[in-house]
Structure 1
């Protein structure tokens, strides 16, 4: 019976880990859809989740006073069922929060962040607390079946790693968000029911009590962690999450900020932590003390950072590296050693014979350290020091903690080697953020004009040898002044020329300011610019060709997620134009979904016009058609205009249906009296002729394409790897797809390639 109970006790925590990470992904997505994508929003969600887990672990540890007074496996089952039930209510609860946030922002905008916090707490705090409560319960279960707590913690973490990949590569692509939530809730319920009906070996209370009295290890002091234990587990949680945020910043720049890349990086960290916990028992048996492993972890941080800061240069030497397996291997080699060694600290001490209360306290302190590490990395360390120096600080904290807490017990060679490793890291500093940045594509020699490390992204103004400048966000060229960015000014001019009397414009995503400047030059009375990244407004002065558009009294900038602004505002506009990051970047699906276009349509006055960039060369042919089809699903009177200079496509749509859009150009045919005529790069006839697909041929082009929704997350979690693996497609090739409305033969797909600056 004990062997079968042990097997079940290993299987159920693993499945519980799968479900736990699935919920974390779902919570982050649901929160971003309800409140907008932002660093503060992500921090609130993370802090709420960690706070719930901390409180759950601490309270459950107090509740479980002794292993013979309750059925821990049954209690674990009840908690899993509660998590599943809470998950099933997510869609409805986030819908209410969406409505409440909009109402509060329109009446009391200063209270919106408070509503965000209260809303997230009300939705995810209880299930997060149930997750945290499972750790001290694992300790009680382990005693009954003879399995170390470190082993149960390890298989739970390995399950979480599997859950990360399962959600990203199978559940959301196949089932969508709601289907994934139902599937995850089903896993919770299956685990809960199995736990409730599985019997555990009985504990002889008389024998157990005699053992506790006779064995000094069971004294009250021995069953609670000492202060130095709590300091070590706090440090390990703090530094692990500090490094995760810092190093992920560099890895994202090399791999691009896609959900695929993030899921793989997170899975590597969780897998490494799980393996580390699983190995604790065998590592302890070798007799090497924990402080030695901590010193080696610091050395691994110092030696790993120079490689990570050169990752983009290293990858170029290996040719085609853009596959998930390569990303996984590279992340494991660079990040794995330090995370493995740091990950020993918590399960090392969890394997001590602490009481349930001691286990709960130990885990709670580690979790507090983790959340403080993540938040301080994003809001203090990265903005103040950059990711390279933040990693140095993390290594110094680990080495210093080992020396302070363990003193002479630390082998003499550890501090000496640690100092040498730190000196080597300083010597090999490549100047990221000062003399160079990491690129996701080989752009070549450059000068850093300005660099800002923000809570959620690194933003840089870069100048190349030919004098052209661009804005790079996490290594990706978000906007630039170079030949293949010719279309950006037309993102502003086109909707203004298609509207008879435009007065109020909304520009979502500022970039270098070309689109906003083009809108302003068309003579509108008011232009509102919305961007989530404050750094793009700060570095705008380094792009003189935007004619200092932000200083114009008719131009107003708003720091907010564009979708959240549309949902919250009661302003109406004549034109809306947007050029977000590429559709397959993390979080950007929300700006290409049907629900987003419906929000935009609701904020347009009669006759209103919307324009959106269609980066067909950066996505698969199917996804390009889906973007066009979803756009036309909400704006039936739509067309595709292609810039003759760079053949970039721009979708244009009108809320009215009293004539095909593009058949009339009021701004060209009847210029407004008294309004200055701006200097445009194309003559009137060329502008008209560049209308590539009218509403009828656009519908043919997008025929049978899947509609992008908030639920299916098609661009983020669909078939998104082909472009990253082979590189961006030729715009000439895409132009032929527009005209033919079909995928080109495979032999043609490799004929043409974009120059590096075509991003």
Structure 2
């Protein structure tokens, strides 16, 4: 073969190996991303899972690299060994899901209950979690030294070029894998499918590598030099350097992710974008050094300059970070909120993450090739690759655990990052120590001086302002809460999250936030109206007390402000309340709510546990009369597992026979489909549930495993401490409580089925993938929100919940339904008593009532029949669904305010229909609404047609004519226009009628 042909063949051979190593890197990061989510389910928090996965991933790779470096000289074909390793990794990836299910089932069912205490449970959980991924991580660790040494054996090129090229391709493949796993694989095929896809990649890589490994390798004489017992004098320094740079790099990664989560939001998308920015920086560092490493006369000294630049870039990132909140605020306010804007927002956050993370990561990507090259040149031999790689990954393990468990919780994010940067700077200065030349002495002094000045400047200039970090800029576009009249009362960077407590003097409220997301707020002034959050937290605690015959034990998942625990302890029947919270700083910060949550801290029945809820329940094998789940929002990475089908199957195992489960669900920053998904996930594990709207943005589900609900125990409302706290939030009577109820399983099951066909599973995490977009768009579960205030009495007809008397319920400013009840009562009284101009009804409603009185009550000729229909039906819509039976009959069924009997036929038809609806005359209403739709529709506006269609179907349901409701939709509905805000109610009626017709048949 000609020399040119041989050279071309070698180039193509090398390029082919670089490509398959990129695929290997892609599969490796698919595993790492998905492992984090698997172990998050097991360990109970995404932050713990990420740190464990990073540590075990890097630790396993260190073991694998060390093992490969020790024994690779005995192997004649490293590329074939690499192919075998990739094949085994693929097989392990394919088997991971069933193995995970088996291990976790054994842990929860057998291991945890048999253990003596918390330390044993924790040890078993973390050890078994580590062993789940350690074998694959060890095998992954062998791939870099096997591929590197195999390629150096086969190609006659510089070692620096090989090392830099492999580092780049593997890292760029990894960066792609992180994005591909989260944005493509998870939504399409879930976590098990993503693992299988990674396994397929490994098998493909193994087959290609095996085909390319047919030619024998030649072991250079220099490759074996490191096998002797004599080690190069510089080896200890280079291994120490690799260890330090590995540790600092991963302190940076953990720190940056924690920092930027407060600017971007702690979503699974944001995490993967940040991880990609970090790995991408590493990759391009490797690419840059690939063409230059072999030209450095002193690779160790070059590494010293790189370490100094890395430390300086890390310090600069801390100063840039202060501005990230302003950048995010500017982009949010400029972009607007839409689905397309969310994709742009992710792009923007990726750019910001790269600006902050990529420079230091770029230099970090140079260090491993340079230190490896330096050791090779010093005579370390082929084993140098594995030794440096192993030591670097051991440093990464130390960095991860120091960051999560020591530096961040003890010193805070800012000092943790500065200490890591100082470590890089000191290492760089040591590597630049004088070598006997004036130049080396000057550069040494300059690097030391620059490093010292940079640390001092960063200590002063990097503000890490709690007012910005607690602002939740990713939600509202405000870069600082101080601008919104808020004062910081408490701030701490905890192990899993950063907790802030802040107060507003103008509103006299105090709030507690996790990574900028407010979890609870309480009005501290007892004389003022309570906050909306207070109603939710008090009702969450009170509801099960009002339905359980004799509650003695309760558990609360998620401490929040502590108010729900405080409310539960207002019932003297309870003997024990366990509150499980995973972040200690949350419990510490909530103490600032003072007397409002006093019982949570001081009542001897209250016990607070810092633990994952599933582990705590399984380890202690406790059973409760009440379990209350108030986690943070499901768009936050890792939280959606507390709204999953698997979690709802787990909860009943820890409830007593008559036990009750309470679930809080947000209806703000989400949508109907996602709320329907949660309800479908829950419904499979509970025989009955009742749904309440605590306020305009929070839903509470009260569920029981067996049987159905009885009546409310009104005696429980008389316990003094419970009564006092419920009166404070405006739910002091049975009528107030019933006003908040939406319905039960029988009446609402069809609604939730019509909203969603999906369930949220641990392994197919619908919420964590879709909820961030809904949050960004600022969607609302409007069908749920509007149900009590809908334009037809769905709650009464389908759910059997009559409208209350206005004088029996408190007007609650945070719950729109109570306002509509009081408004309807005022409108009815004004029309009945001919007091339209009394000022008790606002101007818009007065104008409506005056018009209706003239054309209906005094037989004025309507100038426009479309308008007449619209105004009469608008008045019916504003009153009938919110008036108790007698009041609405007085208003519409042969009322005194109608003083003539000669209305125009169309006006009379509209009045007769309203009267039939008011007196619950379902056969007549069904016939009249259908007749109007079947006639000439020119006088019926599209909105009126839509309302009449739903009226006819609801009347048929009220008449138990379920097949008739379906027939109306089939025959008439196809020609009736629909509207986005009422379409779900139309589907609700259809699904409910179909289900009831099936039961009836």
- Given that 1:522 and 1:678 are in contact with CA atoms closer than 8 Å, whether structure 2 keeps it comes out as no
- Given that 2:635 and 2:775 are in contact with CA atoms closer than 8 Å, whether structure 1 keeps it comes out as no
Q: Does 1:302 align with 2:335?
A: no
Aligned to 2:563: 514
Give a deviation string over 1:587-643, Cα, whole Å, max 9, x none: 112100111011112222223221111112122332121112212232241232112
Q: How does 1:571-586 map to 2 (within 5 A)?
A: 571-586=622-637
Q: Secondary structure at the match of 2:472?
A: coil
Q: Secondary structure at the match of 1:268?
A: helix
Q: Does 1:114 align with 2:123?
A: yes
Q: Does 1:451 align with 2:491?
A: yes
Aligned to 2:103: 97
Q: How does 1:595-606 map to 2 (within 5 A)?
A: 595-606=646-657
Aligned to 2:451: 418
Q: Does 1:85 align with 2:91?
A: yes
Aligned to 1:478: 519
Counterparts of 1:724 and 1:81, CA distance in 2: 41
From 253, 267, 276, the counterpart of 2:276: 267
**How far 1:78 sits from its partner (Å)?**
0.7
From 396, 402, 406, the counterpart of 1:380: 406
Give a deviation string over 1:218-277, Cα, whole Å, max 9, x none: 999798962222222222211111111112211001111111110100011111101111
Q: Does 1:366 align with 2:395?
A: no
From 641, 648, 658, the counterpart of 1:590: 641
Give a deviation string over 1:35-58, Cα, whole Å, max 9, x none: 433765654444333222111101
Q: CA distance change for structure 1 residues 588 and 82 in 2, over 3 Å: closer, same or farther?
A: same
Q: Does 1:429 align with 2:462?
A: yes
**Which residues of structure 2 form unaligned runs of 5+?**
1-8, 336-341, 435-439, 524-530, 795-949, 951-977, 984-1001
**How far 1:513 sits from its partner (Å)?**
0.7
Give a deviation string over 1:360-408, Cα, whole Å, max 9, x none: 0000111011111111111111122211122222222222111122123
Give a deviation string over 1:635-687, Cα, whole Å, max 9, x none: 241232112x44421122122234xx4xx443226768999744413122021
Aligned to 1:667: 713
Q: How does 1:359-758 map to 2 (within 5 A)?
A: 359-408=385-434, 409=440, 410=443, 413-430=446-463, 432-433=465-466, 437=470, 439-440=472-473, 441=475, 442=478, 443=481, 444-466=484-506, 467-482=508-523, 483-485=531-533, 486-523=535-572, 524-544=574-594, 545-643=596-694, 645-658=695-708, 661=709, 664-668=710-714, 677-680=723-726, 681-682=730-731, 683-703=733-753, 704-717=756-769, 719-726=770-777, 728-729=778-779, 735-736=785-786, 745=980
From 40, 47, 57, the counterpart of 1:49: 57
From 166, 169, 186, the counterpart of 1:172: 186
- Given that 2:26 and 2:173 are in contact with CA atoms closer than 8 Å, whether structure 1 keeps it comes out as yes
Counterparts of 1:724 and 1:282, CA distance in 2: 45
Counterparts of 2:432 and 2:653, CA distance in 1: 64
- Given that 1:737 and 1:744 are in contact with CA atoms closer than 8 Å, whether structure 2 keeps it comes out as no
Give a deviation string over 1:679-719, Cα, whole Å, max 9, x none: 413122021121113323422222143011111011123x3
Counterparts of 2:150 and 2:129, CA distance in 1: 32
Counterparts of 2:542 and 2:655, CA distance in 1: 17
**Which residues of structure 1 form unaligned runs of 5+?**
749-759
Q: Secondary structure at the match of 2:566?
A: helix
Q: CA distance change for structure 1 residues 494 and 78 in 2, over 3 Å: closer, same or farther?
A: same
Counterparts of 1:673 and 1:738, CA distance in 2: 29
Counterparts of 2:448 and 2:471, CA distance in 1: 31
Counterparts of 1:37 and 1:673, CA distance in 2: 37
More moved, 334-343 vs 672-681: 672-681
Aligned to 1:7: 15
Aligned to 1:155: 169
- Using the size of structure 1 for normalisation, the TM-score is 0.90
Aligned to 1:226: 235
Q: Does 1:245 align with 2:245?
A: no
Counterparts of 1:430 and 1:438, CA distance in 2: 15
Counterparts of 1:578 and 1:167, CA distance in 2: 30
More moved, 223-232 vs 276-285: 223-232
Counterparts of 1:199 and 1:744, CA distance in 2: 64
Counterparts of 1:623 and 1:411, CA distance in 2: 60
Counterparts of 1:372 and 1:676, CA distance in 2: 50
Q: Does 1:29 align with 2:37?
A: yes
Counterparts of 1:269 and 1:746, CA distance in 2: 43
Counterparts of 2:84 and 2:548, CA distance in 1: 60
- Given that 1:242 and 1:374 are in contact with CA atoms closer than 8 Å, whether structure 2 keeps it comes out as yes
Counterparts of 2:130 and 2:389, CA distance in 1: 21
From 353, 366, 370, the counterpart of 1:331: 353
- Given that 1:534 and 1:559 are in contact with CA atoms closer than 8 Å, whether structure 2 keeps it comes out as yes
Give a deviation string over 1:90-134, Cα, whole Å, max 9, x none: 233223322332323222234212322432343222211111111
Q: How many residues align?
A: 735
Aligned to 2:803: none
Q: How does 1:107-146 map to 2 (within 5 A)?
A: 107-108=114-115, 109=117, 110-143=119-152, 144-145=154-155, 146=157
**How far 1:434 sits from its partner (Å)?**
9.0
**How far 1:465 sits from its partner (Å)?**
3.2
Counterparts of 1:744 and 1:447, CA distance in 2: 44
**How far 1:461 sits from its partner (Å)?**
1.9
Counterparts of 2:228 and 2:399, CA distance in 1: 33
Counterparts of 2:145 and 2:359, CA distance in 1: 28
Q: CA distance change for structure 1 residues 647 and 116 in 2, over 3 Å: closer, same or farther?
A: closer
More moved, 422-431 vs 503-512: 422-431
- Given that 2:670 and 2:780 are in contact with CA atoms closer than 8 Å, whether structure 1 keeps it comes out as no
More moved, 343-352 vs 484-493: 343-352
- Given that 2:690 and 2:744 are in contact with CA atoms closer than 8 Å, whether structure 1 keeps it comes out as yes
Q: Which protein, 1 or 2, shows the higher relative CO under an 8 Å CA cutoff with sep ≥ 6?
A: 1
Whose helix proportion is higher, 1 or 2? 2
CA RMSD of aligned residues (A): 3.1
Counterparts of 2:646 and 2:724, CA distance in 1: 35
Aligned to 1:192: 206
Aligned to 1:752: none
Counterparts of 2:503 and 2:34, CA distance in 1: 39
- Given that 1:36 and 1:563 are in contact with CA atoms closer than 8 Å, whether structure 2 keeps it comes out as yes
- Given that 1:138 and 1:153 are in contact with CA atoms closer than 8 Å, whether structure 2 keeps it comes out as no
Q: Secondary structure at the match of 1:309?
A: helix
- Using the size of structure 2 for normalisation, the TM-score is 0.69
Rg: which structure is higher? 2
Q: CA distance change for structure 1 residues 26 and 74 in 2, over 3 Å: closer, same or farther?
A: same
- Given that 1:104 and 1:111 are in contact with CA atoms closer than 8 Å, whether structure 2 keeps it comes out as no
**How far 1:514 sits from its partner (Å)?**
1.0
**How far 1:432 sits from its partner (Å)?**
3.4
